[in-house]
Amino acid sequence: MSISSVSTLADKCGADSLAKLGKHFYDITECGAGTEFVTMDESYLYTDDYYGITRPLPNIWAGKVVGIKFYTIVEGSDAEFSCDLVTFPCEYSEIQECLDYLEGEATAAFEEDFK
């Protein structure tokens, strides 16, 4: 499925705000993936706890978001993982690849540290 914007992605995931979209990705992953919403100038990263992104979509922030980035931390270890920025437009499969990568890396780190 083609994703033209962060609002399209939110619609696909049943989220009505960027904050809820971030929570969606956290909830559907075993590793609890965190989400960063990257703006046009890439100097501002709006994560799922930033006040401005709790407003219903579409909103002013959605128009500034050009991509999405995921990360995870393996609790109880020093392992942290992130994946490359996925920019819009994109295919949902690109987002799923990032989530799969994080799940695999986090699982491997957890198994290595807590055997």
Q: Is residue 114 part of a domain?
A: no
pLDDT at 104: 94
**Domain total in the chain:** 1
Q: What is the pLDDT of residue 1?
A: 82
Structure confidence at residue 64 (pLDDT): 85
Average pLDDT score over the chain: 87
Q: List the domain range (segments joined by +) for residue 91.
A: 2-98
What pLDDT, on the 0 to 100 scale, is given for residue 16? 92
What SS3 string covers the chain?
CEECCHHHHHHHHCCCEHHHHHHHHHHHCCCCCEEEEEECCCCCEEECCCHHHHCECCCHHHHHEEEEEEEEECCCCCCEEECCCEECCEEHHHHHHHHHHHHHHHHHHHHHHCC
Among 111, 106, 107, 110, which Cα is nearest to 70's? 106
19-29 confidence digits (pLDDT tens): 899 999 999 99
Looking at residue 98, its pLDDT comes to: 97
Q: What is the pTM of this model?
A: 0.87
> Is 19 a domain residue?
yes
Q: Is 66 inside any structural domain?
A: yes
pLDDT at 13: 96
pLDDT tens for each residue of 37-84: 888 876 566 665 565 677 788 877 778 899 999 999 988 778 899 999
Q: Is residue 103 part of a domain?
A: no
Q: Which of 75, 69, 60 is nearest to 106 (CA)?
A: 75
In a domain, residue 37? The reply is yes
Whether the ω angle into residue 58 lies within 30 degrees of 0, i.e. cis, is: yes
104 within some domain: no
Does residue 64 lie within any of the structural domains? yes
pLDDT of residue 69: 94
Residue 106 domain-assigned (yes or no): no
